[in-house]
């Protein structure tokens, strides 16, 4: 993977982070760091762990730093890339922030919206079935706006919406989401180093090879295919 670090300039700009599901009876999972280039996603590092606890991930990412080349992330070294993009896993984000304090962590917009849809669809939210799409679209507009004024306007519209105000839990949920808007709203993503990326699909498609396998034979076949990909860039 060293050639990816020192030859692919995108490795200094944006790094996607995602983990597989449990791979065996010991609950091993693999956290994958990847960057994107003209040929697709290329891996920058792997962390194998049996836990998603923040303290364990901190230790794992610190160990990863010890084996990275001095010119990792296209010359930025131990500082890390300008941006990491992850799903909304607080432990993972906190671990990256602690190990790479010079990098900014962004949230994958797909996962933000998917989490919103799941929350709205859950019976515990108390949202009537016929209002789910309407409330989802209110939040989707906040995600998609291109400047901070429109973001403020989108939230004002949401909080003044008659249907939204029928559900106190939804207003509370949205206010918590609003506090993290700098991590997921498009209006904060005008930086050219993101190259138009708003999701971490690059790395998720890579880890899905493991998660989609169900039988022992399929897992073994997939692991061989995965190793071949890693060896290709080593």
Of the candidates 51, 89, 49, the residue with the CA atom closest to the CA atom of residue 180: 89
With respect to residue 192, please indicate whether it lies within any of the assigned structural domains: no
The CA angle 104-188-145, to the nearest 5 degrees, is 145
Q: What is the pLDDT of residue 88?
A: 86
Summarize pLDDT for 122-172 with one digit per residue, the tens: 999 999 999 999 999 999 999 999 899 999 999 999 999 999 999 999 999
Are 38 and 139 within one domain?
no
> Which domain range does residue 52 map to?
2-108+199-233
pLDDT in the model for residue 79: 94
Based on C-alpha coordinates, what's the Rg of the chain? 19
Instruction: Indicate if 30 and 130 belong to the same structural domain.
Output: no
Identify whether residues 223 and 171 lie together within a single domain. Answer: no
- Single pTM value for the model: 0.80
The answer on 97 and 49 residing in a single domain is yes
CATH number for the domain harbouring residue 217: 3.30.420
How many structural domains does the chain have?
Answer: 2
Give the SS3 label for residue 107.
strand
107, 85 contact by CB (below 8 A): yes
Residues 85, 150 within the same domain: no
Q: Collapse the DSSP code of 74 into the 3-class scheme (helix H, G, I; strand E, B; otherwise coil) and give the result.
A: helix
* Residues 58 and 95 both lie in one domain: yes
Q: Can you give the pLDDT at residue 131?
A: 97
- Per-residue confidence band for 229, with pLDDT thresholds at 50, 70 and 90: very low
- For residue 20, pLDDT over 70 is answered with yes
What is the rounded CA–CA span in Å between residue 147 and residue 20? Answer: 34
The answer to whether residues 71 and 152 belong to one domain is: no
Q: Mean of the pLDDT values across residues 65-80?
A: 92
The pLDDT score that the predictor gives to residue 28 is: 82
Q: If you average pLDDT over residues 175-183, what whole number do you get?
A: 94
Q: What is the mean pLDDT of residues 96-114?
A: 93
How far is 102 from 84, CA to CA, in rounded Å? 11
Instruction: Give the C-alpha separation, 123 to 75, whole Å.
Output: 49
The mean per-residue pLDDT over the stretch 218-232 comes to 50
The yes-or-no verdict on residue 213 having pLDDT over 60 is no
Check whether residue 34 and residue 60 sit in a common domain: yes
What pLDDT score was predicted for residue 5?
Answer: 86
Mean pLDDT of 183-199: 78
Whether residues 17 and 58 share a domain: the answer is: yes
In this prediction, residue 132 carries a pLDDT of 97
Strands 29-37 and 83-86: unpaired
- Please state the rounded mean pLDDT for residues 168-177: 97
Give a yes or no: residue 194 inside a domain.
no
What are the tens digits of pLDDT across the range 39-59? 778 889 999 988 889 999 999
In this structure, are 6 and 104 located in the same domain? yes
């Amino acid at each position: 993977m060293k050639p990816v670090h020192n030859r692919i300039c995108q490795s200094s700009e944006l790094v996607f982070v995602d983990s597989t599901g449990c791979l065996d009876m010991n609950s091993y999972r693999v956290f994958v760091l990847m960057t994107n280039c003209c040929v697709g996603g290329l891996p920058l590092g792997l962390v194998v762990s049996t836990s998603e606890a923040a303290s364990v991930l901190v230790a794992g990412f610190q160990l990863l730093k010890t084996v990275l080349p001095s010119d990792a992330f296209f010359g930025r070294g131990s500082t890390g890339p300008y941006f990491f993009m992850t799903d909304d896993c607080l432990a993972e984000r906190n671990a990256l922030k602690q190990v790479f304090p010079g990098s900014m962590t962004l949230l994958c917009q797909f996962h933000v919206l998917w989490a919103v849809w799941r929350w709205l669809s859950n019976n515990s939210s108390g949202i009537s079935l016929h209002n789910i799409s309407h409330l989802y679209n209110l939040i989707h507009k906040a995600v998609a706006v291109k400047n901070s004024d429109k973001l403020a306007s989108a939230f004002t519209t949401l909080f003044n919406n008659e249907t939204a105000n029928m559900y106190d839990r939804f207003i509370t949920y949205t206010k918590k989401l609003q506090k993290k808007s700098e991590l997921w709203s498009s209006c904060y993503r005008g930086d050219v180093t993101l190259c138009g990326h708003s999701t971490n699909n690059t790395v998720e498609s890579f880890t899905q090879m493991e998660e989609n396998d169900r039988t022992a034979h399929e897992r073994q076949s997939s692991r061989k295919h995965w190793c071949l990909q890693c060896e290709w860039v080593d």
